[in-house]
Structure 1
Amino acid sequence: MSKPLVAVVKFAEAYQSVRRALELSDGLAGLKPGDRILIKPNLVSWDFDLPFPPYGVVTTSAVLGALVRILAEEGYSDITIGEGPLMVPKTIGQAMYKELGYHQLREKYGVKLVDFNEEKFVKTDLGGLTLSLAEKVLEADKIINVPVLKTHNQTKVSLGIKNLKGCINRASKMHCHGKDVDLSHTFPHIAEKLPVALTLIDGVFGLAKGPGPTGTAQRLDLLVASRDLLAADVVGAALLGYRAAEVEHLAYFARRNGGSLDINDIEVRGEPLAENIHPLEYDWEWTAENTGPLGYAKRGIKGLAVRKYDSTMCTGCSMLFNPVLVMLMAAFKGEPFPNVEVISGKVQLASPGFDYTVLFGMCPYKLNKDNPHIKQAIAIKGCPPDLQEFVEAMREIGVPCDYKDYVQYRHYIFHRYKAEDGFDLGLFKIDNV
């Protein structure tokens, strides 16, 4: 039995690099003339109000644009780009396409740009799990999956299999983060259903402590291409410093569908794998007592316990949890907090002995609204929660949270990326196709 083939290519000029990755992996062999091809990038989110460093967070326009050009040159004309980005408070897919220059692809090659959140979803049996998949995805003959090479604080890595979670609706995404299911045992079912013909992992940048912009990006200049979805992720995980067997959603997919997690069972062409491994951390460290990030303890913060997020926290709350952590840290002025506990997600229960209990989101509120351990609840019940409501509620109990502190932090993380270190925003624009 032949080994699955994976190409690892150094990224230089986008068009030549992508073409070489496709040639080494025989990446277009599964496509036929007339196929309805859907390209699924990773466009998890954007921020049109605050500085947003996209490095390692979203697929580069340079790679996406080069892929479309090659497909057009090879005679494939029915091309759709589709994504279902985070909805806070509304969907932003078309705005992201414009920001990233995708309209150029529509004008030159007739590419259709679809925001799944604006389209119909179809409830679909995925082999023991029912989720609502975008109809446009189900209509595709072949899917080209273009994830980013990044870590994920809930799943260790976010590569090809994880990227397909963007094909389901908001309710299904929340279901994947359920209290009675393991997150890593949900979204792999999506990959089983879809006709993924090619995975092209964009590793121009890699991201530690992802998946959002608060992680730390590195310029890696790598592309990974394979017609085998699992093999692509096994190699991608290895490049990030993780054995696939240690990544539960990859192990789960392999158990259900066959395929090896052993890197030695894959034929890797192009760059030597061992010379291109860049170990990147996926998780944020918390105190042993689970009272907050280690940074809180280093600052001497007392009277506050922020319980660590878990896999039941949905993406909407996850994107807002970091501002909460930043604002709470900035609110510490040397005096202890007024004995406050902050809980989140779908399984965390309020602990006894706290004067105030912050229920961050509708899920912890529903779970704890009758909890006898709570003396005074501060319920931020939105889905996702409202940050301004959180700020006002904390000020009422003497904790001077200020959203301006988070704005300052966002400017800081944006400006830490320097052009001389290879952080080029031009890679996220399509100006000339």
Structure 2
Amino acid sequence: MKTKVAIVKYEKPVESVGKAIALSGALDKLKKGDRVFIKPNIVFWSRSVAMPPWGVITTTRVVEDVLRQVIKRKPGEIIIGEGTVTSDPKDRETPEHAFETLGYNKIARKYGAKIINVFDKNFRQVDLGGGIRLNLAEDLLNADFVISLPVLKTHAQTRVSLSMKNIKGCLDMESRKLCHSADMINDLDFHVSRLVKALPEACTIIDGIYTLERGPAYTGNARRSNIILASSDLLAADITGAALLGFNPAEVPHIKMCCKEADIFPSPESVELVGEPLENMVRPHKWAFPYNKDDTLPLNLERIGVKGFSLPRYDHSICTYCSELMGPIQMTIGKTWDGKAFDDVEVLTGKIHRPTPGMNHTILLGQCQVKLNKENKHIKNRILVPGCPPKIDKLISGLKESGIEADPAVFENLDMTPGLFMKRYKGKTEFSQKFYRADEKLNTSEGYKLPFFR
């Protein structure tokens, strides 16, 4: 029998999510007394500005609406867990700030749930087959029933980031880095395709109230799409979610790999769709950031005429710590560009990039690049930016050594960066903070208002 996947228009709090769960039977296998682990997606958070969470973070509205349905089944312990990546790996204040600001602590008290930062808890190594061993949160592994609550969004590396990719947030940091392998076969997609093997009984509700193009973070473009997906099977939901975002699921590598393992065809025809017709709900979203034809420079920099600088396209091997610096580096180049060509400078990232012959300065960003190319004889002026995360002071001094006078504030105040992206949403009434706050006003059309900057 085909697995049911419900596609529902989001129209009302509580009712729309409840309808999707009922149509799909997503919670049918949740038994009385079960220990439940709920995994939302809080991929990034800022304590300095009211960041744009639209399409980036699972709405508090959906988290609460799912909790309402869960407690009807009279489960045992309910844990809401996430492992938000912060610039400082030791930072515990930012995740706690997110839980409080998003209202997670409030709804946890209301429904008797427990909120955890998985980095504060224990991990256990799991053999996922294919030679893959990763450390997953024990609270996830010890659960009787797991609920994945991702956002309906695209991803600059894996094309889509849905139910299965969402589980990556329960890995410890070393395992996350391992997922960004330099192996062209056992790459990021391969690792993501294996994550579902570790789960106990599971289901998913995909939050598409807001969707995201060119995700996974605030640098992408959010849309108000009003879609809820639900299924008792993560793969079936992701096949459908990919199709809703305009993809052929067979062209999404990790979905294709999972389908091969499950012996099903990567197509919506392999699932039983209920609710709204798929063709009426498709919202094509782009996933890759545009580059020039040589993949050596982001298109936004080429369009303003930047010469003598190269920032090769990111690949699967670049992890979050380096990827979060791509935006600030581009901002720096844009700010310092005065029409005069830079002195043939390149910035290399990840575990694969090799130096380009003829460049005068090669900046090796992060410990992976330092390890890979620190002895490379083709580099004229080798500039090392070690560390994971990369050391910001070394990056700033390295850019200066290559002739680029970087504004230190761009890198030293990364927590402020989301504020720069607020302009695209300001004044658009469909982008409301009410969906990201636990407040009685969430059930009214008035909503909850939060200043763009605090």
1:208 paired with 2:213, answer: yes
Secondary structure class of the residue paired with 2:14: helix
Match of 1:235, SS state, is helix
Report the equivalent of 2:419. Answer: 411
Specify the alignment match of 1:24 in structure 2: 23
Contact 2:264/2:270 (8 A) holds in 1: no
Residue among 247, 257, 268 paired with 2:273: 268
Cα distance, 1:254 vs structure 2: 1.1
What's the CA shift for 1:421? Answer: 4.0
Aligned counterpart, 1:191: 196
Equivalent in the alignment of 1:429: 437
**Contact 2:82/2:170 (8 A) holds in 1:** yes
CA distance in 1, matches of 2:227, 2:171: 28
Q: Is the 8 A contact 1:290 1:305 kept in 2?
A: no
How far did 1:271 drift? 1.2
**What is the match of residue 293 of structure 1?**
298
Provide the rounded CA distance (Å) in 2 between the counterparts of 1:314 and 1:175: 9
Distance (Å, rounded) in 2 between the aligned partners of 1:51 and 1:307: 31
* Superposition deviation, residue 367 in structure 1: 0.5
Task: Give % identity.
Answer: 38
Give the superposition deviation at 1:106. 2.2
Mapped to 2, the partners of 1:286 and 1:238 lie a distance apart of 25
Deviation at 1:93, TM superposition (A): 3.0
Matched, 1:321 2:321: no
Q: Please, which moves more after superposition, 56-65 or 374-383?
A: 374-383
Structure 2 distance, partners of 1:241, 1:68, is 30
Asked whether 1:384 is paired with 2:389, we answer yes
Deviation track 1:63-117 (CA, whole Å, cap 9, x = no partner) reads 0011112222342342110111113203443332112111112211220111111
Which residue of the partner structure matches residue 5 of structure 2? 6
Is the 8 Å Cα contact of residues 339 and 356 (structure 1) preserved in structure 2? yes
Tell me the SS of whatever aligns to 1:253.
helix
Match of 2:104 among 102, 111, 114: 102
Unaligned runs of 5+ in 2: 443-454
Of 153, 156, 166, which aligns to 1:150?
Answer: 153
1:122 is aligned to 124
Task: Go from structure 1 to structure 2 and tell me whether the alpha carbon gap of 1:84 and 1:196 turns closer, same or farther (over 3 Å shift).
Answer: farther
C-alpha distance in structure 1 between counterparts of 2:428 and 2:302, whole Å: 34
Note the 1:7-406 alignment, pairs <5 A: 7-89=6-88, 90-91=91-92, 92-128=94-130, 129-180=132-183, 181-404=186-409
Tell me, in whole angstroms, the C-alpha distance in 2 between the residues paired with 1:130 and 1:404.
Answer: 39
Deviates more, 1:84-93 or 1:368-377: 84-93
Which stretch shifts more, 391-400 or 95-104? 391-400
Counterpart CA distance in 2 for 1:96 and 1:414 is 18
Q: Shift of the alpha carbon at 1:259? A: 3.1
| Whole-angstrom distance in 2 between the partners of 1:383 and 1:256 | 34
1: CA distance between counterparts of 2:296 and 2:198? 41
Aligned length: 432
Question: In 2, are the aligned partners of 1:230 and 1:259 still within 8 Å (CA)?
Answer: no
Larger CA deviation: 338-347 vs 385-394:
385-394
Letter of the 2:38 counterpart: I
- 5+ unaligned residues in a row in structure 1: which ranges? none
C-alpha distance in 1 between matches for 2:431 and 2:113 = 28
Per-residue CA deviations over 1:377-415 (Å, capped at 9, x if unaligned) read: 221112111334322332343312225568797434112
- For the aligned residue pairs, the C-alpha RMSD in angstroms reads 1.7
Does the 8 A contact of 1:327 with 1:403 survive in 2? no
The residue identity in structure 2 corresponding to 1:198 is: C
- Asked if the contact 2:123/2:137 (under 8 Å) is kept, the reply is yes
Relative to 1, partners in 2 of residues 1:398 and 1:151: Cα closer, same or farther, differing over 3 Å? same
Q: Secondary structure of the residue that 1:420 maps to in structure 2?
A: coil
Deviations 1:222-256 (A, max 9, x none): 00000021110011001100011000000111111
Q: Name the counterpart of 2:448.
A: none
SS at match of 1:241: coil
TM-score (normalizing by structure 2): 0.91
The verdict on how the C-alpha distance between 1:78 and 1:409 changes in structure 2, with shifts beyond 3 A counting, is: closer
Q: Is the 8 A contact 2:6 2:20 kept in 1?
A: yes
Q: Report Cα offsets for 1:311-361 as digits up to 9, x if no partner.
A: 000112112222112211221111111110111000111122111111111
Native 8 Å contact 1:5 1:267 kept in 2: yes
Displacement after TM superposition at 1:15 (Å): 0.7
CA, structure 1 residues 362+405, in 2 after alignment: closer, same or farther (shift >3 Å)? Answer: closer
Q: Is the 8 A contact 2:31 2:73 kept in 1?
A: no
| Whole-angstrom CA distance in 1 between matches of 2:341 and 2:322 | 26
Cα offset, 1:285, TM superposition = 1.6
2:452 is matched with none
Give the CA deviation at 1:260.
3.1
Contact 1:356 1:376 in 2 (8 A): yes
CA contact (8 A) 2:301 2:330 kept: no
Checking the alignment, whether the CA contact within 8 Å between 2:9 and 2:276 is kept in structure 1 is: yes
Find the aligned partners of 1:365 and 1:405 in 2 and give their Cα distance. 23
Amino acid at match of 1:364: Q
Structure 1 SS opposite 2:340? coil
> Deviation string for 1:178-230 (max 9, x for gaps)?
11231111122121120242110000111011001000000000000000211
Partners of 1:340 and 1:356 within 8 A in 2:
yes
Checking the alignment, whether the CA contact within 8 Å between 1:350 and 1:373 is kept in structure 2 is yes
- 2:5, 2:271 within 8 Å by CA — same for their partners in 1? yes
Q: Secondary structure at the match of 1:217?
A: strand
One-letter amino acid matched to 1:69: R
